[in-house]
Structure 1
Amino acid sequence: MRPLDRIRSIKLKFSIVIVVAVAISALVSTIGLRTGIPIWVRPFISATIALAVTYPIARGMTSPLREMVAATEDLAAGRPAGPICSTSRDEVGELARSFDAMRTQLDEVDRQRRDLVANVSHELRTPISALRATLENIVDGVEPAEPEVLQVMLRQTERLSRMVAQLLDLARLESGGSPMHPRRVDLGPLLAQAAAEARLHSPDTEVTVTCPEGLALDGDPERIHQVVANLIENAVRHSPPGEQVRVEADAVGDRVELRVLDAGPGIPPDEAERVFERFYRADRSRSGSGGGSGLGLAIVRWIVDLHGGDVRVEERPGPGCCMTVVLPACTEVPT
């Protein structure tokens, strides 16, 4: 800790430095007058002693500014910047801590950008490689163009198309390029429709809906449907065949609480937040064709945040996972 770090005002620190310099000058003049030091020598002695005393203090006061300048130059040149020393409690210390927080956020954004490029490359390369290998076999006559083979190729193409669509959708949400159209949304019919769509794609999984009559919320109906559909799709994908996926909704004060429960392997507590990151999968073994794109829950969080709500993973007794979404209830009286 530097000498004046405990003082909370930079103006008071400068005042102390000035007072010290003046006091040194007065002390040297008094001593010089009593010892007979020539009057023209006294200013040089005063300045030398004052500089020797106040320079370390002033340097300690401004060192965070020099560190921030160096860090800014590193960031501008694309180099990683080190942490800023911010032990001071004054305005410069507050600025240094804010700058350090910004630097940390920039490092995290840069890490996410690198991860995104690597993940997109991997996720696109996998189906493209499978398509290329199959097409080469068909062209070379190694494998006949049978309906089963073409069906596999179609599924890979659909997976590519779905992933690109989700990436574009997520980019629009993050950039604000996808406007919201909030209005009253009756939750019962919306949940029933999303469950019916899930049953069409996965007839082996039973999807049940429990929702009080008349329960409604304020939001964009298309986006709310997207949230529910993504959560149900995720639950169905991770549930064993023949198991049940439950969709429940209740009013809790001025909020609506929506829960999607499955009987899958669940999500470890230490990964409960990371599952909402792009391309993150709690079950690494599902990164191939058996898993999703890794974008569904990221889209869910963005949409819920835009509605002023919250989405989280909640623990439940026994196996399975419970995804809970909390959104503002509808304040409009139906006509």
Structure 2
Amino acid sequence: MILIELSLFFVLYTNISNHQINEVLDGLLARGSGHRDVLEKKFDQTTMEHVALMETEAITDVVITDERGEILASSSGLDNYQEKLIQSYGQTEKEEDSIIEREWKTAPYVATLSPIEIEGERKGYVYMFSPSTVIRNLTSYLSNQFIFVMALTLIITLIVVFTLSKLITKPLIRMKEETEKLSRGETTVELNDHYNDELGVLARSINKLSEDLERMKQERNDFLSSISHELRTPLTYLKGYADIASREHTDEANKRKYLDIIKEESEKLASMVQELFQLAKMDENTFTIQPEICEIKPLLIQAEESMYPIFSKNKIAVTNTCPSGLCFYADPVRFKQVIVNILENVIQYSGPDSNVHIAVINQTAEVEIKIKDDGPGVPEDSLPHLFDRLYRVEKSRSRELGGSGLGLAIVKEIVKMHGGSVKAKNEKGLAIIMKWPKEGDL
């Protein structure tokens, strides 16, 4: 901005000073032309003295010569410079008015020449002299004024620039400080995001990042707390029953009983570790699927058959209304894992002596699969969290039935990897509704 202002001031000063100098020179030339016009009407000594008398009170000087350069009249005494200048132009044949000296920076005078013509015959010349100090004083005055205005403008510019810079950079510095807090692990960031510009967008992004980091931090803490609690329970069982079974006075029947419990808890622990491993691979994007076009009904039947012993033990009836020949795009192994996880969840929440309904609906671009039980359902405020890791509606009851709280989280991730969606809702029982694509673009 300062460079632009200096350039503009230089251009403006040059144009104004040149204009003023030209006005002085043009005015001097016009004054000489006016005297010449008077003398052309009456060229005698009286008129010449009258013209000279008119210039005696002015700062300018007039000199009237004949055609040979002899001085006929002047408004004041001539110095050497004026005489030399008249002598150098005395024998010339100038046909029109002209400026014969314009070097006001070095010469003591600027001068003009106006030839006197009467009936086509050259009678003489009118010389006009003006001290160069007039122009020098004018340019000096303009320079002083411009320097003052330029200095004032620069000061105002600097004040405005620094003020605006401070106002603009203040929120940026604040954002920098808050992002440094984020890098140190502090997630309590509050930035003013009411700006209707890029700063507001950036502030809102940082606030959202802070909220996301706080949520992730809380979820991580909750997850670590929950998983440590979940692992502690089977490990306590393993240690306790192993101690009891190792006692010498424990009979063989009780030893076998305790060993069966240890085996059962070990299987639960291994299953939970495997599920955690799968979730970790999903988070790292190393969990792979191999989707293909396959028929749905055989896969559902295989998943039901794998769960038959548990259904039979808990007296759970399963109905399947899937049309034959309906195909979709999925990894068969992962799809059966999804169905098994959902059915296990149904057993946990619906309890024994219940019914499970599996319905498949053919839609335009996708297939809807609904798995519903006739149990009590879940509270409405728990529905959005059913697919969260380690979330339980009834912790004690779920742990008693062997749930880890990871099954539905794995379901959500697998369905999402296939480009589908899953949700839960209460429909006189809990209903898990999934939508799978018919064709894949993975």
| TM-score higher than 0.5 | yes
Q: 1:122-171: CA deviations, max 9, x gaps? A: 10001101111122223345754433222222111111011001001111
Q: Distance in 2 between matches of 1:207 and 1:303?
A: 24
Q: Say if 2:261 is the partner of 1:152.
A: yes
Q: 1:70 to 1:142 in 2, by over 3 A?
A: farther
* Amino acid corresponding to residue 432 of structure 2 in structure 1: M
Q: What are the ranges of 5 or more consecutive residues in structure 2 without an aligned counterpart?
A: 9-143
Q: Distance in 1 between matches of 2:163 and 2:250?
A: 80
Q: Distance in 2 between matches of 1:270 and 1:50?
A: 60
Counterpart residue number, 2:310: 201
Deviation (angstroms), 1:310:
0.7
- Of 263, 272, 275 in structure 2, the residue corresponding to residue 166 of structure 1 is 275
Q: Say if 2:207 is the partner of 1:96.
A: no
Paired positions, count: 298
Higher RCO, 1 or 2 (CA under 8 Å, sep at least 6)? Answer: 1
Q: Matches of residues 227-246 of structure 1 in structure 2 within 5 Å? A: 227-246=338-357
Counterpart residue number, 1:25: none
Deviation (angstroms), 1:49:
5.6
- Say whether the 8 Å CA contact 1:199–1:206 is kept in structure 2: no
Q: Distance in 2 between matches of 1:94 and 1:313?
A: 34
Q: Distance in 1 between matches of 2:148 and 2:379?
A: 76
- Of 410, 414, 428 in structure 2, the residue corresponding to residue 303 of structure 1 is 414
Based on CA coordinates, which of the two structures has the bigger radius of gyration? Answer: 2
Moved more, 202-211 or 49-58: 49-58
Q: Distance in 1 between matches of 2:249 and 2:233?
A: 21
Q: Distance in 1 between matches of 2:300 and 2:149?
A: 88
TM-score of the superposition, structure 1-length normalised?
0.80
Q: Distance in 2 between matches of 1:294 and 1:272?
A: 14
Deviation (angstroms), 1:97:
1.6
Q: Matches of residues 276-315 of structure 1 in structure 2 within 5 Å? A: 276-315=387-426
Q: Distance in 2 between matches of 1:102 and 1:121?
A: 28
Q: Say if 2:282 is the partner of 1:178.
A: no
Q: 1:222-277: CA deviations, max 9, x gaps? A: 11111111111111222231111111111122110001111222122222121111
- Of 58, 64, 83 in structure 1, the residue corresponding to residue 165 of structure 2 is 58
* Amino acid corresponding to residue 227 of structure 2 in structure 1: V
Counterpart residue number, 1:247: 358
Q: Distance in 2 between matches of 1:89 and 1:62?
A: 16
- Cα RMSD of the aligned pairs, angstroms, is 2.7
SS in structure 2 at match of 1:209: strand
Q: Name the % identity.
A: 32
TM-score of the superposition, structure 2-length normalised?
0.62
Counterpart residue number, 2:228: 121
- Say whether the 8 Å CA contact 1:195–1:209 is kept in structure 2: no
Moved more, 187-196 or 168-177: 168-177
Q: Distance in 2 between matches of 1:137 and 1:193?
A: 40
SS in structure 1 at match of 2:399: coil
Which structure dedicates a bigger proportion of its chain to strand?
2
SS in structure 1 at match of 2:228: helix
Q: Distance in 1 between matches of 2:224 and 2:238?
A: 21
Q: Distance in 2 between matches of 1:186 and 1:322?
A: 23
